[in-house]
């Protein structure tokens, strides 16, 4: 009799006999039964996650591997699984993990691009597609979504998250968790989500990856926790600790975070994994003496599974014998791991059908969803004279290093997307136009201008030029911080060269982060910004350029004029000396000026106060007029729902979708409050000339924050409310919470 069936039978017998030790669910009973049969060594084996495939079979057979990552070959996965299920003493299946971040085979826009859609439904659909494709290859656990609020575009990992705003982060995180996990984790096409990196990793000083973070408890609670709390409450199955330390305590050894907050305060019952060797790195942090010490600190802090430090498997048995880690802590961790394996149905269904992936990878519906996501994620930043769409032109010049770069347009963390399946803008535009193709530059960092004369000559023969610039995939993502955010290589020079031909110039930026494109805006008539758009980026951008689709994306991060402005985010706290619109700039200061304070407000002498584009910004080929918002009441109590309505009119000649945004400001608080905060958004599609009444319903309880006494409350008093197309527009209306 195989071991799985034996386990199932013994559990069934136990269930019939009516197990006494108070476990509540059938799964709990199965977990307890199995746990009671395990040796300490086998328990610790479950807490060990290793990178690799078939060569881990021997360790799996000894019960020393709880999970593997980075193997995507179904045959190899089955081989390790067979060793665990059929050769290990208790036959506990292995959990197979992978970084499926924005698609598995069919690559969707990078998460920052997904956030630009402000469309949780399409994001959920993308995550579902990723789950269907990844599970068909045997992967049942993804290390996504990344929920790190990130306000500094120098940090390469801004690509992997939803940007600077906690509310948008919550909505995108929930959508991804729903998409990955589906209705029921036990469905073989469901994947456990992993909310990461807990916590504060996105606040690395200076945008330098792996750097220190300085975050107060209030700011953790108001800004960095909300997406973790919301997705934990929604049933996210697992959580990953972060590399960084906060206030001197690395997250992987932070009992306050992993026990007091996550378990006791939030009551979350999922499974906690470390980041890759984040336990071991506590030695480099100077927080642990050696690997053995890291294992002790991590498990005692509340970690369940170790990713690749090898510390748990080497030292936990010894630590238990020495009384430094209790067996109760080990049992706690193993319970969480086994419960997840039961929830995923791995005991019943440990193997993957090795022919399955061929049937689902790159399915037409998946490609269509990827294309729609890429369409919705592109942001129109400039469109002087309505140059876009290029619906009349027949002959266009296509140039630039990102026009035909199938690998680069997939972006960071796209390990399993195959570039042969990527459709580039060049390929797609050739279906629509007579294309003159001159690359100009071979890749985004190319500094050679030797091809520029050809490009300029080609531009003069075309009716319009479309220049695809940006970043290669490798320039953003983990460990890819930058201190200068201008276009790399000679890309800005290429745009300027094309402009000399005097034809309409459209620039399309394909990048992993907000770049500082101010000087490039001066040399073009229109600019579309597409965070690495994935497999179907080409057809999506071609539809937008041709006018078969209308841009509707909005910025999920503030765009800077200069990297020196970072970090810069719209929802900063009220200042004592806010900028009032008057700035004396560098070259306006008289020579030998006296030691005056130049207005005494918060701004830079060189770049002034404002950003290049505010959070939430994005144009359309049509235009929208916002009517005045009308509140249903002037005063609300804590249990009320605020209803605010306004008329939105499509004042242009095309159908278009506007992302309408709701912002609130708590005017006076027991602690200083943000100047405004996003509290809702909707995508509204209107025909030309159509007017619609748009209504937001905002529960007053959504105005709560962590106050002076570190309590989560709505404070009575006056508020401002805006409805607008971005975070810098609109006139406020006021209400009071009584």
CB of 99 to ligand NOJ, least distance (A): 5
**Cis upstream peptide for 70 (omega within 30°):** no
CB of 478 to ligand NOJ, least distance (A): 6
Binder among 30, 128, 154, 196 for ligand NOJ (CB under 6 A): 196
- Give SS3 for 363: coil
End-to-end CA distance of the chain: 68
Buried b (16+ CB within 10 A) or exposed e, 591-610: eeeeeeeeeebebeeebbbb
How many C-beta atoms surround the C-beta of residue 643 within 10 A?
14
Q: Which candidate in 275, 306, 543, 726 is catalytic?
A: 275
CB of 476 to ligand NOJ, least distance (A): 14
Q: Does 613 bind ligand NOJ (CB under 6 A)?
A: no
Tokens of 470: 């940006």
Using CB under 6 A, which residues numbered 450 to 489 contact ligand NOJ? 478
Whichever of 240 and 333 has its CB closer to ligand NOJ, that residue is: 240
Whichever of 3 and 196 has its CB closer to ligand NOJ, that residue is: 196
Using CB under 6 A, which residues numbered 141 to 160 contact ligand NOJ? 143
- Give SS3 for 176: helix
Chain centroid to Cα 277, Å, comes to 22
CB of 281 to ligand NOJ, least distance (A): 11
CB of 68 to ligand NOJ, least distance (A): 12
Using CB under 6 A, which residues numbered 257 to 286 contact ligand NOJ? 275-276
Rounded CA-CA distance 189/515 in Å is 37
Residue nearest ligand NOJ, Cβ-based? 143
Rg of the Cα atoms in the chain? 27
Residue count of the chain, please give it: 738
Whichever of 196 and 676 has its CB closer to ligand NOJ, that residue is: 196
Whichever of 252 and 550 has its CB closer to ligand NOJ, that residue is: 252
Torsion angle in degrees (nearest 10) through CA of 602, 608, 612, 615: 10
Contact indicator for 453, 498 with CB cutoff of 8 Å:
no
CB of 242 to ligand NOJ, least distance (A): 8
Contact indicator for 221, 708 with CB cutoff of 8 Å:
no
Contact indicator for 705, 712 with CB cutoff of 8 Å:
yes
Q: Does 99 bind ligand NOJ (CB under 6 A)?
A: yes
Buried b (16+ CB within 10 A) or exposed e, 408-437: bbbbbbbebbbeebbbbbbbbbeebbebbe
Rounded CA-CA distance 175/60 in Å is 34
CB of 316 to ligand NOJ, least distance (A): 21
How many residues contact ligand NOJ, by CB under 6 A? 6
Chain centroid to Cα 376, Å, comes to 16
CB of 194 to ligand NOJ, least distance (A): 7
Whichever of 144 and 523 has its CB closer to ligand NOJ, that residue is: 144
Does 404 qualify as catalytic in the annotation?
A: no
Q: From residue 572, give the alpha-carbon distance in Å to each of 164, 227, 575, 712.
A: 10, 18, 9, 19
Q: Does 209 bind ligand NOJ (CB under 6 A)?
A: no
Rounded CA-CA distance 7/26 in Å is 14
Q: Does 416 bind ligand NOJ (CB under 6 A)?
A: no
Rounded CA-CA distance 158/143 in Å is 16
Whichever of 275 and 408 has its CB closer to ligand NOJ, that residue is: 275
Strands (E) in 637-676, as ranges, are 641-650, 656-666
Rounded CA-CA distance 700/531 in Å is 35
The binding track of 124-143 with respect to ligand NOJ, each residue x by CB under 6 A or -, is -------------------x
Whichever of 152 and 497 has its CB closer to ligand NOJ, that residue is: 152
- Give SS3 for 467: strand
Whichever of 98 and 154 has its CB closer to ligand NOJ, that residue is: 98
Whichever of 252 and 492 has its CB closer to ligand NOJ, that residue is: 252
Q: Does 104 bind ligand NOJ (CB under 6 A)?
A: no
CB of 327 to ligand NOJ, least distance (A): 29
Residue positions annotated with a catalytic role: 275
Binding site for ligand NOJ (CB under 6 A): 99, 143, 196, 275-276, 478
């Amino acid at each position: 009799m195989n071991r799985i069936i034996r386990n199932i039978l013994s559990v069934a017998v136990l269930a019939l006999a009516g197990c006494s030790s108070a476990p509540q669910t059938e799964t709990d009973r199965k977990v307890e039964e199995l746990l009671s049969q395990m040796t300490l060594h086998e328990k610790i084996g479950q807490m060990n996650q290793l990178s690799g495939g078939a060569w881990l079979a021997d360790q799996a057979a000894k019960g020393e591997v709880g999970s593997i990552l980075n193997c995507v070959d179904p045959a190899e996965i089955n081989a390790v699984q067979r060793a665990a299920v059929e050769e290990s003493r208790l036959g506990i299946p292995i959990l197979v993990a992978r970084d499926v971040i924005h698609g598995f085979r069919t690559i969707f826009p990078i998460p920052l691009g997904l956030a630009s859609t402000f469309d949780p439904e399409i994001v959920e659909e993308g995550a579902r597609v990723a789950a269907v494709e990844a599970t068909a290859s045997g992967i049942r656990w993804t290390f996504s979504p990344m929920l790190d609020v990130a306000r500094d575009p120098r940090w390469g990992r801004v690509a992997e998250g939803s940007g600077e705003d906690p509310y948008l982060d919550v909505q995108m995180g929930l959508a991804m968790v729903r998409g990955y996990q589906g209705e029921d984790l036990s469905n073989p096409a469901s994947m456990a989500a992993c909310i990461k990196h807990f916590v504060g990793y996105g606040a690395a000083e200076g945008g330098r990856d792996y750097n220190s973070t300085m975050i107060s408890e209030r700011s953790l609670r108001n800004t960095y926790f909300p997406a973790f709390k919301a997705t934990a409450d929604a049933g996210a199955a697992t959580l990953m600790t972060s590399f960084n330390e906060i206030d001197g305590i690395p997250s992987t050894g932070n009992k306050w975070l992993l026990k007091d907050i996550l378990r006791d305060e939030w009551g979350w019952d999922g499974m906690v994994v470390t980041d890759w060797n984040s336990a071991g790195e506590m030695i480099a942090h100077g927080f642990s003496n050696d690997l053995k010490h890291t294992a002790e600190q991590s498990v005692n802090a509340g970690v369940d599974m170790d990713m690749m430090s090898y510390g748990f498997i080497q030292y936990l048995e010894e630590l238990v014998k020495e009384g430094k880690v209790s067996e109760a802590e080990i049992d706690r961790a193993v319970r969480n791991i086994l419960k997840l394996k039961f929830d995923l149905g791995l005991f019943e269904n440990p193997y993957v059908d090795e022919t399955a992936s061929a049937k689902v990878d790159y399915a037409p519906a998946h490609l269509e969803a990827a294309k729609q996501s890429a369409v919705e994620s592109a942001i129109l930043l400039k469109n002087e004279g309505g140059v876009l769409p290029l619906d009349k032109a027949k002959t266009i010049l296509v140039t630039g290093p990102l026009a035909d770069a199938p690998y680069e347009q997939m972006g960071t963390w796209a390990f399993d997307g195959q570039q042969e399946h990527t459709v580039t803008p060049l390929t797609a535009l050739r279906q629509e136009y007579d294309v003159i193709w001159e690359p100009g530059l071979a890749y985004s960092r190319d500094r050679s201008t030797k091809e520029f004369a050809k490009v300029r000559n080609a531009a003069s023969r075309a009716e319009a030029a479309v220049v695809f610039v940006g970043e290669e995939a490798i320039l953003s993502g983990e460990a890819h911080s930058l201190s200068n955010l201008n276009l790399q290589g000679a890309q800005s020079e290429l745009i300027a060269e094309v402009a000399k031909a005097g034809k309409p110039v459209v620039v399309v930026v394909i990048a992993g982060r907000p770049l500082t494109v101010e000087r490039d805006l001066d040399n073009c008539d229109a600019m579309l910004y597409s965070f690495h758009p994935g497999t179907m980026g080409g057809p999506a951008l071609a539809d937008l350029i041709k006018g078969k689709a209308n841009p509707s994306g909005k910025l999920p991060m503030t765009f800077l004029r200069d990297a020196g402005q970072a970090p810069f985010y719209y929802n900063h706290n009220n200042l004592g000396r806010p900028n009032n619109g008057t700035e004396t700039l560098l070259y306006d200061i008289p020579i030998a000026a006296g030691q005056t304070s130049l207005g005494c407000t918060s701004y830079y002498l060189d770049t002034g106060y404002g950003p290049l584009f505010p959070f939430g910004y994005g144009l359309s080929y049509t235009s929208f007029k916002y009517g005045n918002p009308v509140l249903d009441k002037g005063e609300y109590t804590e249990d009320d729902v605020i209803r605010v309505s306004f008329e939105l009119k499509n004042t242009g000649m095309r159908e278009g979708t506007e992302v309408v945004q709701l912002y609130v400001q708590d005017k006076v608080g027991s602690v200083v409050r943000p100047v405004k905060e996003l509290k809702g958004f909707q995508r509204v599609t209107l025909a030309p000339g159509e007017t619609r009444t748009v209504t937001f319903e905002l529960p007053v309880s959504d105005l709560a924050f962590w106050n002076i006494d570190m309590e989560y409350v709505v404070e009575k008093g006056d508020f401002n409310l805006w409805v607008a197309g971005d975070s810098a527009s609109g006139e406020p209306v006021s209400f009071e919470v009584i």
